[in-house]
Amino acid sequence: MTEALTLLSFGDGGWGDELLAGLWVTVTLALATLPGGLVAGLLIALGQISSERLLRRAARIYTTVFRGLPELLTIFIVYYGGQMALQALWGMFFDSYFEVNPFVAGMIALGLVFSAYSSEVFLSAFRGIPSGQWEGAAALGLSRWKTFRLVILPQLIRLSIGGLGNLWLILLKETSLVSVIALDELLRQTSVAVGVTKQPILFYSLACAIYLVLSLISARGLAHVERRVNRGEAR
C-alpha cells in the first residue's frame, strides 16, 4: 500500500504529475473536438436533406467513409498523410521541415469521425420535425434562416441531445487512440508508467477509474442539459 501511494504521489518520486497532465490532455482534446464536430455534423445533415443532388451525394459519401473506416486508421491517415501533404506544400516556399502537431492531428481525425456520426443523429432529428413547420413559418413571413434559428433549431437540439450525449461519451474514450501518434494523453502516460514501474494492475486500474469518473460526470451533466432543453415539454 505504501509503495502504491509512493508511485501515485506528485513530485520526482511518483507519477501523479504525469497522470494529471495526461488527464488534462484527454479532457482538452475531447472538448476541443466537440464544437467543430457538432458544427460539421449539422452541416452534413443539412447537406443530406438538401434539394441539391450533388450535396446529398457528397454528404452520403462523407458519412459512409468516416463511419466505415476504423478510427485508428483515420488518425494515421490524418497525421501521416496530412504531414506529408503539408510538408510538400511547405517545401515549395521554405527550405525547412514542417511537423504536424499531434494534438491538432488528433482533434481533426476525431472530429471527422464525430461529425460523421453526429450528422446521422441530426438527420434523424430533422426527420422528426414536421415539414409543415417550415411552411407555417414561411406563411408568417419568416426567412428560412430565421425559421431555422427560431423554430427548427430548438426542436433539433431537443430531439438530438440524447444521441449526441452518447457520442460525447464515445469521443471521450476514443481520445485514448491518439496515443499512437505520441500525444501524451492519459493512456499513453499510463503505459509509460507501467513500462517503467512494472505495475500494470495499479496504473491500468487507476486509468479505468479515471475514465469511469469522467463518464459519470459527463452523464450527470448531460442529464442536466437534457432536463433544461425539455423543460417546456408537456408531461
**Which segment of 92-101, 150-159, 200-209 scores lowest on mean pLDDT?**
92-101
- Cell 413571413 belongs to 141
Separation between Cα atoms, residue 224 and residue 190, nearest integer Å: 32
Q: Name the helix (H) or strand (E) containing 192.
A: helix 186-197
The candidate with the shortest Cα–Cα distance to 167, out of 96, 226, 113, 125, is 113
Burial 10-42 (b: 16+ CB within 10 A, else e): eeeebbeebbeebbebbbebbebbbebbbebbb
**How many CB atoms neighbour CB 46 within 10 A?**
16
Mean pLDDT (whole number) for 168-196: 90
Within 10 Å of residue 44's Cβ, how many Cβ atoms? 23
d(CA 172, CA 162): 16
Amino acid at 170: I
pLDDT grade for 147, boundaries at 50, 70 and 90: confident
Task: Indicate the domain borders of the chain.
Answer: 2-229
Say which CATH architecture domain 2-229 belongs to: Orthogonal Bundle (1.10)
Report the distance separating Cα 17 and Cα 145, nearest Å: 49
Q: Residues 31-87: pLDDT tens digits?
A: 999 999 999 999 999 999 888 899 999 999 999 999 999 999 999 999 998 888 888
